[in-house]
Amino acid sequence: MSRGIVYVLCIVFFAGCKGEQNVALDATQVYKSKGVEIPMYDFNSFEPLLTMDDGKTRVINFWATWCKPCVAELPYFELINSRYPDDQVEVILVSLDLPKQVESKLIPFVKRQQIESKVILLDDPDANSWIPKVNKTWSGSIPATIIYKGNTVNFYERSFTYNELEKELKKVL
């Protein structure tokens, strides 16, 4: 058998293997400053994150630096991020801040608050198009959170205390 055929067979074999699903999200831009890295996505490149099925439970929180209830609950997401193993739970903080304010507001905020969870920026001005794709009942208000694992998806258009957030997380774990 030639090397080319072996190579193709290996690719087909490994592509068909079950296990951790590596969905590559293609950031439209990555902001880097002060030791903080924030990738920016439009909704089409972000959407695969809402349906990954790799055995992890994902906690996806939509927030912004200008939203007081969002900022108030961020420490609870950080606690979840620090208390659960990375291979079990992934916390993703989806900022809805304006791209032109990433370097002046978002990055300094993330640095000042010492946020360790993954922070990404969702920049898609057509919110009327993508909000119902996140959840058909979502009015677009923030904070909003999705907790999912596989086919179990729970959506919350509200803020949380730590105990409330952990209780909802445990329902999915």
How many structural domains does the chain have? 1
Q: Do 148 and 56 form a contact (C-beta atoms < 8 A)?
A: no
Whether the predicted pLDDT of 18 surpasses 60: no
Q: Could you tell me the two tokens for 59?
A: 């906690």
Can you give the pLDDT at residue 24? 58
DSSP string, the chain: --HHHHHHHHHHHHHH--S---PPP--SEEEEETTEEEEEE-HHHHGGGGS--SS-EEEEEEE-TT-HHHHHHHHHHHHHHHHS-TTTEEEEEEE---GGGIIIIIHHHHHHHT--SEEEEE--S-HHHHHHHH-TT--S-SSEEEEEETTEEEEE-S---HHHHHHHHHHH-
Can you give the pLDDT at residue 49? 95
Asked whether the CA dihedral 103, 106, 109, 113 is positive or negative, the reply is negative
Please indicate, yes or no, if residue 4 is contained in any of the structural domains: no
Domain that holds residue 96: 20-172
Please indicate, yes or no, if residue 146 is contained in any of the structural domains: yes
Task: Compute the distance between CA of residue 16 and CA of residue 6 in angstroms, rounded to an integer.
Answer: 15
pLDDT in tens, 64-75: 999 999 999 999
pLDDT in tens, 82-140: 999 999 999 999 999 999 999 999 999 999 999 999 999 999 999 999 999 999 999 99
Can you give the pLDDT at residue 26? 83
Q: Could you tell me the two tokens for 167?
A: 């209780």
Please indicate, yes or no, if residue 70 is contained in any of the structural domains: yes
27-31, 71-75, 162-166: the lowest-pLDDT one: 27-31
Please indicate, yes or no, if residue 11 is contained in any of the structural domains: no
Please indicate, yes or no, if residue 165 is contained in any of the structural domains: yes
- CATH code for the domain in which residue 61 is found: 3.40.30.10
pTM of the model: 0.85
Share of the chain above pLDDT 70, in %: 86
